[in-house]
Amino acid sequence: MTRLVATRAVLGLLTLLAVSALIFFCTQILPGDVASAVLGQQATPEALKAFRAELGLDKPAYLRYLAWLWGVLHGNLGHSLTNGRDILADLAPRFENTIFLAVYSAVIAVPIAVGLGILSAIREGRPVDRIANVATVFAISVPEFFVGYLLIIAFAIKNPWFPSLATVYPGMGFGERLYVATLPAVTLTMVVTAHMLRMTRNSVLSIMSTPYVEMAFLKGLARSRVVVRHALPNAAGPIVSVVALNLAYLVVGVVVVENVFVYPGVGQYMVDAVAKRDVPVVQACGLVFAAVFVTLNTIADIVAIMANPRLRRRTVPA
């Protein structure tokens, strides 16, 4: 058990290292000149040369990557090219805002999705199952930004119940923060709930075709009892993985939603940096998103190992 958990953790670290290299080199090969974009078209060749040397652009790419990685490992994400501010100081409060929005959405989405997924599996083929399938297909098919604009029109313009701009700030009360972040949280919830509901339903139904479940039916047990007592425990691993993937999406996929509602999170920070061609900020935001995604997936693997005894068995060599 300890060896399997350690193996998953090491693989997660190696994956994050590979992603960090991919993020760095992909931002370096983007077309255009960073120095020219920052200093403007009126900059002299001497000023451009000095600024490139200040940024380290005159050094080989692998040396710049190693220097950047060394700084990241020591908590130094660099400085913004547009205002010279420390990136970590600006990123930390925005990351807290993004985590707050993700947790807010998850608290709503996870119980609804898992509960309706299990109910759909119990009532397979019945009206509840059919309605849930139609609703999830519709929610998955509609883009997040379109859902956000529809919610703004319905609940901020025609019925001014919530603000159209989710503006939060340090020192804001918890209740007021919940109220302001309601529309973006509902937008994320609608999309994430659909994915989790369908995967939960499919995971439970895939277990329903196994021999021991068929034997439970032959004993005369009710379908609800078979699902809850026999199918659900064995489907817990896939369900946990699906929940973890969607929780990662709540953090990583908030870029569009934060931009629609002008929510001061990491996604909005990254969009502003892309518009200004602030490469260090883009790299830092991409690394944060990658770290969250890899961490949640690693945790999901470890939880699945702990929940499913079959995954803890060691392979005996022939």
Vertex 257 angle, CA 243 and 37, to 5°:
120
Q: Evaluate if residue 260 carries a pLDDT over 80.
A: yes
pTM, whole model, 2 decimals? Answer: 0.77
Q: Where are the alpha helices (DSSP H) in 74-181?
A: 87-122, 127-141, 144-152, 174-180
- Percentage helix, strand, coil for the chain under 3-state DSSP, each rounded to 5: 75, 0, 20
Where do we find the tokens 């995971």? Answer: 203
Q: How far apart are CA 247 and CA 293, in angstroms?
A: 9
- 51 in a structural domain: no
Overall number of domains in the chain: 1
Does 18 fall in a domain?
Answer: no
168 domain-assigned: yes
Q: Is residue 24 part of a domain?
A: no
Q: What confidence tens digit (pLDDT) does each residue in 67-98 have?
A: 888 888 888 888 887 777 888 888 888 888 88
Q: Is residue 14 part of a domain?
A: no
Q: Domain of 177?
A: 90-312
Is residue 103 included in any domain, yes or no?
yes
Residue for token pair 């809850």 = 228
Give CA–CA dist 225/208, Å, rounded: 12
Please report whether residue 213 resides in a domain: yes
For residue range 232-247, list pLDDT tens digits in order.
666 666 777 777 777 7
Q: What is the CATH number of the domain that holds 219?
A: 1.10.3720.10
Does any domain span residue 85?
A: no
Given this model, what pLDDT does residue 109 score?
86
